[in-house]
Chains A and B, each alone.
Chain A
Amino acid sequence: MRSEDGEGIMIDLSGMTITMASGKGGTGKTTVAVNLARLLAEAGQEVQYLDCDVEEPNGHIFLRPSIVSSSASRVMVPVVDQEKCTSCGECGAKCQFHAIVNLPGDTLIFPGLCHGCGLCSAVCPTGAITEGVRDIGVIEKGKGAKEIEFVHGILNVGEAMAVPLIKEVKSCRKDGYVQIVDAPPGTSCPVVATLNGSDAVIMVTEPTPFGLHDLKIAIDVARMLDIPTGVVVNKDHGGYPPLYDYLETSNIPVLAVIPEDAEIARHCSRGLIILESLPRCMDIFQSLAANLEGLLDTRSVHGRRAHL
Chain B
Amino acid sequence: MKEFVVVSGKGGTGKTSVVASLACLIEGKALADCDVDAANLSLVLSPRILEQKEFAAGKRARIITEKCTSCGICRDMCRFDAISGDFVVDTVSCEGCGACFFFCPASAVEFETPLAGHCYICATPADEPFVYAELFPGEENSGKLVTMVRTEARAQAERFGLSRILIDGPPGIGCPVISSLTGTSLAIIVTEPTASGIHDLERVIELTRHFQIPAAVIINKSDINLDCTDSIEHYCVQKDIRLLGRLPYESAISEAQRQGKTIVQYAPDLPAAKAMRGISEQIKTLYKE
Q: Does A172 contact B (CB under 8 A)?
A: no
Instruction: Determine whether the beta carbon of B95 is less than 8 Å from that of A117.
Output: yes
Residue of A210, A213, A217, A235 with most partner-chain B CB within 10 A: A210
Q: Does B211 contact A (CB under 8 A)?
A: yes
Q: Hey, what's the 0/1 contact readout for B213-243 against A, CB within 8 Å counting as 1?
A: 0000000010011001000000000000000
Instruction: Determine whether the beta carbon of A24 is less than 8 Å from that of B172.
Output: no
Instruction: Determine whether the beta carbon of B140 is less than 8 Å from that of A188.
Output: yes
Interface size on B, residues (CB 8 A): 65
Instruction: Determine whether the beta carbon of A94 is less than 8 Å from that of B98.
Output: yes
Cα distance A225–B240 in the bound complex, in angstroms: 46
Cα distance A118–B195 in the bound complex, in angstroms: 41
Task: Kindly list chain B residues whose C-beta atoms are within 8 Å of the C-beta of A158.
Answer: 178, 207, 210-211
Instruction: Determine whether the beta carbon of A162 is less than 8 Å from that of B175.
Output: yes
Task: Kindly list chain A residues whose C-beta atoms are within 8 Å of the C-beta of B177.
Answer: 55
CB distance from A126 to the nearest CB of B (A): 17
Instruction: Determine whether the beta carbon of A210 is less than 8 Å from that of B257.
Output: yes
Instruction: Determine whether the beta carbon of B260 is less than 8 Å from that of A268.
Output: no
CB distance from A216 to the nearest CB of B (A): 9
Instruction: Determine whether the beta carbon of A61 is less than 8 Å from that of B137.
Output: no
Given the contacts A158-B210, A209-B260, A210-B43, A262 and B224 also touching, CB distance less than 8 Å: yes
CB distance from A32 to the nearest CB of B (A): 13
The interface-forming segment of B6-14, B158-166, B271-279 is B6-14
Instruction: Determine whether the beta carbon of B178 is less than 8 Å from that of A160.
Output: yes
Q: Does B184 contact A (CB under 8 A)?
A: no
Of A27, A186, A189, which contacts B170 at CB under 8 A? Answer: A186
The interface-forming segment of A190-198, A275-283, A285-293 is A190-198
Instruction: Determine whether the beta carbon of A61 is less than 8 Å from that of B195.
Output: yes
Cα distance A240–B254 in the bound complex, in angstroms: 11
Instruction: Determine whether the beta carbon of B95 is less than 8 Å from that of A221.
Output: no
The interface-forming segment of B149-157, B198-206, B280-288 is B198-206
Given the contacts A25-B12, A61-B195, A117-B99, A188 and B257 also touching, CB distance less than 8 Å: no
Task: Kindly list chain B residues whose C-beta atoms are within 8 Å of the C-beta of A235.
Answer: 254
Can you name the residue of chain A whose Cβ is closest to the Cβ of B59?
Answer: A96
Instruction: Determine whether the beta carbon of A26 is less than 8 Å from that of B13.
Output: yes
CB distance from A198 to the nearest CB of B (A): 12
Q: Hey, what's the 0/1 contact readout for B6-49 against A, CB within 8 Å counting as 1?
A: 00111111001000000000000000000011101001000000
Contact residues, A9-45 vs B (CB, 8 A): 22-27, 30
Q: Does B58 contact A (CB under 8 A)?
A: yes
Instruction: Determine whether the beta carbon of A118 is less than 8 Å from that of B137.
Output: no
CB distance from B233 to the nearest CB of A (A): 16
Instruction: Determine whether the beta carbon of B139 is less than 8 Å from that of A189.
Output: yes
CB distance from B58 to the nearest CB of A (A): 7
Q: Does A101 contact B (CB under 8 A)?
A: no
Cα distance A146–B8 in the bound complex, in angstroms: 33
Q: Does A123 contact B (CB under 8 A)?
A: yes
Instruction: Determine whether the beta carbon of B225 is less than 8 Å from that of A266.
Output: yes
Q: Does B193 contact A (CB under 8 A)?
A: yes
Can you name the residue of chain A whose Cβ is closest to the Cβ of B95?
Answer: A115
Interface residues on A, range: 35 or more
Instruction: Determine whether the beta carbon of A119 is less than 8 Å from that of B97.
Output: yes
Task: Kindly list chain A residues whose C-beta atoms are within 8 Å of the C-beta of B176.
Answer: 186, 188
Cα distance A155–B195 in the bound complex, in angstroms: 19
Of B135, B137, B175, B194, which contacts A268 at CB under 8 A? Answer: B194
Instruction: Determine whether the beta carbon of A56 is less than 8 Å from that of B137.
Output: no
Residue of B37, B99, B173 with most partner-chain A CB within 10 A: B37
Q: Does A185 contact B (CB under 8 A)?
A: yes
Instruction: Determine whether the beta carbon of A55 is less than 8 Å from that of B138.
Output: no
Instruction: Determine whether the beta carbon of A189 is less than 8 Å from that of B140.
Output: yes
Given the contacts A160-B174, A209-B258, A240-B258, A188 and B135 also touching, CB distance less than 8 Å: yes
Q: Does A97 contact B (CB under 8 A)?
A: yes
Q: Does B251 contact A (CB under 8 A)?
A: yes
Cα distance A206–B170 in the bound complex, in angstroms: 18
Instruction: Determine whether the beta carbon of B38 is less than 8 Å from that of A266.
Output: no
Of B103, B135, B175, B221, which contacts A122 at CB under 8 A? Answer: B103
Instruction: Determine whether the beta carbon of A188 is less than 8 Å from that of B12.
Output: no
Can you name the residue of chain A whose Cβ is closest to the Cβ of B172?
Answer: A55
Instruction: Determine whether the beta carbon of A25 is less than 8 Å from that of B10.
Output: yes
Q: Does A228 contact B (CB under 8 A)?
A: no
Q: Does B196 contact A (CB under 8 A)?
A: yes
Of A123, A161, A189, A268, which contacts B102 at CB under 8 A? Answer: A123
Of A30, A56, A213, which contacts B171 at CB under 8 A? Answer: A56
Cα distance A235–B224 in the bound complex, in angstroms: 14
Task: Show 7 residue pairs from A and B whose CB-CB distance is below 8 angstroms, ordered by the A residue.
Answer: A25-B8, A157-B207, A188-B37, A189-B139, A190-B174, A209-B43, A266-B225
Which residues of B come within 8 Å of A, CB atoms?
8-13, 16, 36-38, 40, 43, 58-59, 77, 79-80, 92-93, 95-99, 102-103, 135, 137-140, 142-143, 170-178, 192-197, 199-200, 203, 206-207, 210-211, 221, 224-225, 228, 249, 251, 254, 257-258, 260
- What are the 8 tightest A-B residue pairs by CB atom distance, in nearest-first order? A25-B11, A26-B12, A117-B97, A186-B37, A55-B172, A269-B194, A271-B195, A214-B38
Known: A55-B171, A160-B175, A269-B195. 18 other contacts (CB 8 A): A25-B8, A25-B38, A26-B192, A55-B174, A56-B172, A58-B199, A94-B102, A96-B58, A159-B174, A185-B11, A185-B171, A186-B37, A213-B40, A214-B40, A221-B138, A224-B137, A269-B193, A269-B224
